[in-house]
């Protein structure tokens, strides 16, 4: 192999290794965000349930606007 070709192959190997490490890092980030998203979705569902319970207890007249508005 010529020296120039060896240098190019070495550079490509280094880039490949760096990209592999970056891919692993990004995969970890995506995994953590997926877990956080699941937690947030569960929290939203709890808030929806609480809101529906509150709406059931509040008289409908208190929710409507008075006629003078």
Segment 7-11 shows an average pLDDT of 96
What local confidence, expressed as pLDDT, does residue 69 receive?
A: 62
Cα–Cα distance between 19 and 17 in angstroms, integer? Answer: 5
Q: Is the alpha carbon torsion for 38, 44, 45, 50 positive or negative?
A: positive
Give the helix/strand (H/E) hosting 16: helix 3-57
Give the confidence band of 3 by pLDDT, cuts at 50, 70, 90. very high
Query: Exposed/middle/buried for 2, CB within 10 Å: 0-12, 13-18, 19+?
Result: exposed
Cα–Cα distance between 37 and 55 in angstroms, integer? Answer: 27
Query: Is residue 1 pLDDT above 70, yes or no?
Result: no
What local confidence, expressed as pLDDT, does residue 34 receive?
A: 98
- pLDDT tens string 17-67: 999 999 999 999 999 999 999 999 999 999 999 999 988 887 776 667 767
């Amino acid at each position: 192999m010529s020296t120039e070709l060896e240098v190019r192959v070495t550079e490509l190997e280094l880039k490949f290794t760096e990209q592999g490490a970056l891919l692993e890092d990004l995969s970890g980030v995506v995994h953590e965000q997926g877990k956080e998203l699941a937690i947030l979705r569960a929290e939203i569902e709890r808030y929806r349930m609480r809101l529906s319970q509150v709406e059931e207890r509040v008289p409908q007249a208190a929710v409507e606007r008075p006629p003078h508005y």
